[in-house]
Structure 1
Amino acid sequence: MSRRALVAALCLSVAVVAAGCAAPGGSGDSAPTLTATDATDANALIRAHTETLRSNSFTARSKTTARDANGTFRVVTTQTWRVDPGRPVRASATRTHAVVGDAPDRYEQRPDEVTAWRRGNETTVRVESGNDSRVRAVALLNSSVRLNQALHRQLLYGLSASRNATVENVTRNGTRLYRVRAELNDTHVSSNASMTLLVDPEGYVRQVETTRTVAYRSGPRVVTRTVRFSRIGETRVERPPWA
């Protein structure tokens, strides 16, 4: 096993609890390749995805929609990460949310926009609510620009609890991809869960879609989420003017 692969494997073993491993500079070895079998193996998939994106800049975009079973409200949260994993790591993350309908008060009280900036281990956050804007330095562990979070490894790890997973070859813009569809096992808070992934054989996940019914004290809610990875090796991360 190469030193890079060993580092990636060690990072993977603590993916859920770690704040994020520091990324090595430069692309070094060629990107790992994935077979159709690898695409349904959560460990192999996360390992290749991590190794590829820890060596290349990338953009990740996420959209999460939560709606109650009766359709009385809908909460939409969007997030965008831009990451350059070279030394020092530079990253930005922006989160916004919108509420439609009669949602609980705690959703209405969320900030309109939260933006984080990272250079090395130093992170700064700007919180905007209405006409109010506040900027403050925060600890890396409390920020949204940790590498593990941008890679969405915990989301991908959900594939390890899959059943009836299928793989088919599809083509998008002339590129061959694996489309993985899987049902996920029920838990004490989640049911009717499924996952669909578009996996690039070059060693990373292009898109993840999940849907599930989540039990809340106020009643069940249907939560859908889509995460897309793009601009691999082409993402520029610049310090925002307010940082």
Structure 2
Amino acid sequence: MIDPRRVAALVLVAALVVSAGCAAVQDATGDRASDAVEGPPPGVSTENVTDATALVGAHVDALSNRSFTAVVTSERRSPGDEETISATRQRWRLDPTGTVRGTWSLRVREAPSSEGDDAAPQRPTRMVSWRSGDTTYRRVENGSVTVRSVPVSQTRVRLAPALSRRSIVALGDARNVSVSRTTVDGATRYEITGDLPDTRFRSNRTVTLSVAPSGLVREIHVTYRSEFRSAIAVERTVRFTAIGETTPERPDWADGTTNATG
């Protein structure tokens, strides 16, 4: 005779296994999917970056088929008194699955020029682009507002500029590289830091990555001193968030109006 208690126990174990499997599937599609892997990221050992190309490839693979938000902040300061000369903020809300859809925005804040606070900025104070497939529009705010259609080749609503691959692959030429395992909000991360070679107009270059074990780069921090025309300290940070959870929405102004101003 079959013991009913044994049957109940087997059913409970099966339910737990199925539940764990469902949780794994949910993890694989969510923002914390890469946390299931614990080893060093591809192309990275416990002490160094062994293959920067492999690391870039893993980062690209992680975001090529999932929506995400990327925010890039950059600040330019005078090295002596650390006075901010200008600050920019770019944001991508991108869904590369199927037909590419998304927005890119740029906001520029510049310090007043020597001509006074009323002097006009040299660049637009705000620019926003919308793309759905090959349909692209750009809105510029700089005193007045201009909306016009633009070719896909002239919009930044594309996967390549949003991924910041150049800052990652640069670690292949870095010196004094260090790798440390840490925890961020309960998730395993690998912090990779290195000094980059000087170029003609840039010196004191450093890069720091916060990378999930899968190779998905969560944050990039770059600093350098620009020597072009005048000495300027530059600090740039890139953050990738809302992975698999970003839903780009068509802006109200992207209604097909061309060369509209207001």
What TM-score do the two structures reach when normalised by structure 1?
Answer: 0.81
Residue in 2 that maps onto 1:227: 238
C-alpha displacement of 1:37: 6.2
C-alpha displacement of 1:36: 4.7
Residue in 2 that maps onto 1:239: 250
C-alpha displacement of 1:195: 0.5
Residue in 2 that maps onto 1:185: 197
Does the CA contact (< 8 Å) of 1:73 and 1:103 recur in 2? no
C-alpha displacement of 1:103: 7.1
Change (3 A) 1:55 1:37: closer
Residue in 1 that maps onto 2:96: 85
State which drifts further: 199-208 or 156-165.
Answer: 156-165
Does the CA contact (< 8 Å) of 1:73 and 1:101 recur in 2? no
Q: How many residues align?
A: 213
Residue in 1 that maps onto 2:137: 124
Change (3 A) 1:107 1:68: farther
What TM-score do the two structures reach when normalised by structure 2?
Answer: 0.75
Correspondence list, 1:36-75, <5 A: 36=41, 38-39=43-44, 40=49, 41-71=51-81, 73-75=84-86
Residue in 2 that maps onto 1:203: 215
Residue in 2 that maps onto 1:160: 172
Change (3 A) 1:183 1:107: farther
Structure 2 residue ranges without an equivalent (≥5): 1-28, 255-262
Structure 1 residue ranges without an equivalent (≥5): 1-26
Distance 2:132 2:213 in 1: 31
Change (3 A) 1:86 1:37: closer
Cα deviation, 1:6-57, whole Å, max 9, x if unaligned, reads xxxxxxxxxxxxxxxxxxxxx8xx9796725624232011101111100110
Residue in 1 that maps onto 2:109: 98
C-alpha displacement of 1:158: 2.1
* Deviation beyond 3 Å, 4+ runs, structure 1: 30-34, 70-73, 101-107
Q: 3-state DSSP class of the match of 2:91?
A: strand
Percentage of pairs with the same residue: 36
Cα deviation, 1:103-143, whole Å, max 9, x if unaligned, reads 7999922111000011112211000012x111111112211
